[in-house]
């Protein structure tokens, strides 16, 4: 439910502090808000102007040092703007708005999600607030623009219900995953270069790197994005026959992380002969992404490595791009086409499953009630 204002204003609907994405909602007198956007917003790949309803637009804000933004006009008097979550980007945009005469609302923050809105609107608003990257925010914005509501309303029709609910459940895992970081555990025996690879994947120094086996005693985590998908890299203790209690605890925690990860990436130092620890890791995790690390050095392993092993050098960065592509393909093997409706949280998925089961048992009234619970 949108509140119309005569006086144009903007409000933040993301929590205070630093985040990946910030959302700014502008509302009020249509002409002034649109004029502000026409002054500062440049639409990507097009000279067209105007802001049609429920149309997602990509572009930049500002001219000298432009900020990447995604905007959508969700109502006649309301435009949502999504930008990088850093304070510099937010500050530039909000200062421009204030200089244009658009005041900051006193009702900033997440509390602006009105309790009298529909359940679906509140769920979608919270998901957008928690979107870790622009790519996931884009997909969630499509759902917020009416895509998910339309699919659920279609499912109220008994003739289309089963097919519509099955389609939604088919994409449930992907949809629910839009607000979380998928985990990649870097595993291997000590000193194979896990910390160095983590730095190379992230593009900057983050892990402790030292030429001594067993430097990493506990998991070190880092959040980044691959091809726009949020990823959490986990650098674990080297897996081997530990001697000390501290080392044994580190190895135990590393194995726990591997068991719960979305993807396991096993590093093998190809400049040394394959050892028992290497073989045990490869046997225990046959579906892992295998990296033949230190490819800038002579290849000693040769044919002992799996044929799918990717040669990578953290020192020269050779093979890093290929590894990133392999990790993305493993984490997200099937990306839904634009315009695909998706449930975006566990609550929706549970109700959709119950509605499908009720429909198959002939309990149409219960199925309709469950679907309406998702919407209303």
Whichever domain contains 195, its CATH number is 3.40.50.300
User: What is the model's pLDDT at position 152?
Assistant: 96
Asked if residue 265 and residue 343 are part of one domain, the reply reads no
Asked if residue 99 and residue 4 are part of one domain, the reply reads yes
Q: What is the average pLDDT across 324-332?
A: 96
Taking each helix axis from N to C end, the angle separating 364-375 and 119-129, rounded to the nearest 10 degrees, works out to: 50
Q: What is the average pLDDT across 262-271?
A: 95
On the question of pLDDT at 284 being above 80, the answer is yes
Q: Is position 329 within any domain?
A: no
On the question of pLDDT at 18 being above 60, the answer is no
Rounded to whole angstroms, the Cα distance separating 271 from 146 reads 55
Identify the weakest region by mean pLDDT among 40-54, 164-178, 251-265, 289-303. 40-54
| Residue 98: band (very low, low, confident or very high) from pLDDT cuts 50, 70, 90 | confident
User: What is the model's pLDDT at position 19?
Assistant: 59
What count of other Cβ atoms lies within 10 Å of the Cβ of residue 330? 17
User: What is the model's pLDDT at position 72?
Assistant: 87
Asked if residue 340 and residue 309 are part of one domain, the reply reads no
Asked if residue 214 and residue 141 are part of one domain, the reply reads no
Rounded to whole angstroms, the Cα distance separating 324 from 286 reads 19
On the question of pLDDT at 110 being above 90, the answer is no
Rounded to whole angstroms, the Cα distance separating 57 from 262 reads 32
Rounded to whole angstroms, the Cα distance separating 302 from 242 reads 27
On the question of pLDDT at 321 being above 60, the answer is yes
User: What is the model's pLDDT at position 298?
Assistant: 95
pLDDT tens figures, 22-35: 888 888 765 778 88
Between 152 and 128, where is the model more confident? 152
User: What is the model's pLDDT at position 158?
Assistant: 92
Asked if residue 106 and residue 8 are part of one domain, the reply reads yes
CA torsion angle for 145, 151, 153, 154 (degrees, to 10)?
A: 140
User: What is the model's pLDDT at position 101?
Assistant: 82
Residue 22 lies in domain: 1-112
| Residue 254: band (very low, low, confident or very high) from pLDDT cuts 50, 70, 90 | confident
80-89, 190-199, 289-298: which is most confident: 289-298
User: What is the model's pLDDT at position 244?
Assistant: 52
Residue 23 sits in a domain of what CATH number? Answer: 3.30.1360.120
Count: domains in the chain? 3
Between 130 and 143, where is the model more confident? 143
Asked if residue 188 and residue 143 are part of one domain, the reply reads no
User: What is the model's pLDDT at position 250?
Assistant: 62
User: What is the model's pLDDT at position 209?
Assistant: 37
Asked if residue 36 and residue 53 are part of one domain, the reply reads yes
On the question of pLDDT at 349 being above 50, the answer is yes
Q: Is position 322 within any domain?
A: no
User: What is the model's pLDDT at position 37?
Assistant: 86
Residue with tokens 């490595």: 305
The residue from 89, 112, 135 where one domain ends is 112
Q: What is the average pLDDT across 132-149?
A: 90
| Residue 111: band (very low, low, confident or very high) from pLDDT cuts 50, 70, 90 | very low
On the question of pLDDT at 235 being above 70, the answer is yes
User: What is the model's pLDDT at position 268?
Assistant: 95
Q: Is position 328 within any domain?
A: no
| Residue 317: band (very low, low, confident or very high) from pLDDT cuts 50, 70, 90 | very high
Q: What is the average pLDDT across 243-252?
A: 60
Asked if residue 293 and residue 237 are part of one domain, the reply reads yes
Q: What is the average pLDDT across 50-65?
A: 84
Taking CB atoms within 8 Å and a gap of at least 24, the contacts of 249-255 are 250/214, 250/216, 250/217, 250/218, 253/218, 253/219, 254/185, 254/187, 254/219
Question: What percent of the chain is predicted at pLDDT more than 90?
Answer: 46
User: What is the model's pLDDT at position 3?
Assistant: 43
User: What is the model's pLDDT at position 302?
Assistant: 85
The residue from 73, 88, 112 where one domain ends is 112
Q: Which pTM value belongs to this model?
A: 0.72
For the chain, what is the mean pLDDT?
84
Q: Is position 325 within any domain?
A: no
Calculate the CA 279 to chain-centre distance.
33
CB–CB of 167/189 below 8 Å?
no
Strands 289-293 and 310-312: parallel
Rounded to whole angstroms, the Cα distance separating 232 from 183 reads 5
């Amino acid at each position: 439910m949108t509140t119309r204002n005569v006086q144009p204003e903007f409000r933040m609907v993301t929590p205070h502090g630093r985040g990946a994405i910030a959302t700014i909602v502008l509302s009020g007198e249509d002409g002034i808000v649109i004029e502000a956007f026409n002054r500062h917003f440049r639409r990507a790949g097009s000279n067209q102007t105007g802001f049609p309803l429920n149309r997602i637009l990509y572009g930049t804000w500002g001219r000298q040092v432009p900020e990447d933004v995604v905007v959508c006009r969700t109502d006649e008097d309301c435009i949502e703007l999504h930008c990088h979550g850093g304070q510099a980007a937010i500050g530039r945009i909000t200062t421009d708005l204030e200089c244009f005469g658009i005041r900051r609302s006193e009702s900033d923050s997440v509390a602006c999600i009105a309790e009298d809105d529909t359940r679906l609107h509140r769920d979608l608003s919270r998901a957008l607030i928690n979107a870790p990257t622009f790519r996931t925010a884009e997909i969630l914005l499509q759902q917020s623009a009416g895509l998910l509501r339309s699919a659920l309303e279609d499912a109220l029709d008994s003739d289309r219900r089963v097919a519509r609910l099955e389609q939604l459940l088919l994409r449930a895992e992907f949809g629910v995953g839009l607000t979380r970081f998928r985990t990649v555990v870097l595993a291997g025996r000590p000193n194979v270069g896990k910390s160095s690879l983590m730095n190379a994947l992230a593009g900057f120094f983050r892990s402790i790197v030292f030429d001594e086996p067993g430097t990493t005693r506990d998991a070190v985590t880092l959040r980044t994005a691959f091809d726009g998908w949020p990823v959490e890299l986990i650098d674990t203790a080297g897996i081997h026959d530990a001697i000390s209690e501290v080392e044994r605890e580190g190895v135990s925690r590393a194995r726990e992380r591997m068991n719960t990860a979305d993807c396991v990436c096993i590093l093998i130092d190809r400049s040394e002969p394959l050892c028992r620890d290497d073989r045990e890791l490869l046997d225990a995790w046959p579906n892992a992404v295998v990296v033949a690390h230190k490819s800038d050095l002579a290849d000693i392993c040769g044919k002992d490595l799996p044929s799918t092993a990717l040669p990578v050098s953290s020192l020269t960065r050779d093979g890093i791009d290929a590894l990133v592509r392999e990790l993305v393909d493993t984490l997200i093997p099937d990306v839904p086409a634009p315009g695909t409706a998706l449930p975006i949280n566990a609550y929706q998925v549970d109700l959709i499953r119950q509605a499908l089961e009720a429909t198959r048992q002939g309990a149409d009234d219960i199925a309709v009630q469950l679907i309406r619970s998702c919407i209303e």
